[in-house]
Amino acid sequence: ALTAVLCGEAVERVTGRGTGIDDAGWQRKVRAIKQALTVNRPDPADPLDTLAKVGGFEIAGLAGVLLGAVARRIPVLLDGFITGAAALIAARLCPAVRGYLIASHRSVEPGHQAILRDLGLRPLLDLQMRLGEGTGAVLAMYLVEASLRIVREMTTFPAAGVTDTGV
């Protein structure tokens, strides 16, 4: 619901099958989200209103963690759909958040695609995952750590005494 509101997308376009619900389950899920939006009428221009009306405590907590990290100038490696939804809230509250976000992977959940587009993020991995549990972030963390080591420790050609031989 939160992603549909903040990304301005139709509920059907951002609602996925999670861990593999069937067509009937997906249709019930879409109806429930639409009903929540109709009953609660979240304001797309007000991220706190949207969060209060159709978000959850886990998303609110994660949004707070993101804001706290950015206040301390700490980059954040996002996992999937839920952390992305929290990032939408945090970025609406504090646009500087966007500059600290790293998308670990692209989930197969369609709502995650909308979130990545909205935040202007390109994920490090695309492994067709929807596992949850932070698996995308765990895998991507190795790439982030390796990248940092390369930047910090790799010797440059001049420092290593490599010269242009003209070949």
Active site residues: 133
Contacts for 165 with CB less than 8 Å, ≥ 6 apart: none
Pairwise CA distance, residues 14 & 71, whole Å: 30
The residue whose two tokens read 């999670």 is 18
Question: From start to end of 16-165, where are the E strands?
Answer: 76-78, 101-103, 105-107, 125-129
Question: Does residue 119 sit in helix, strand or coil?
Answer: helix
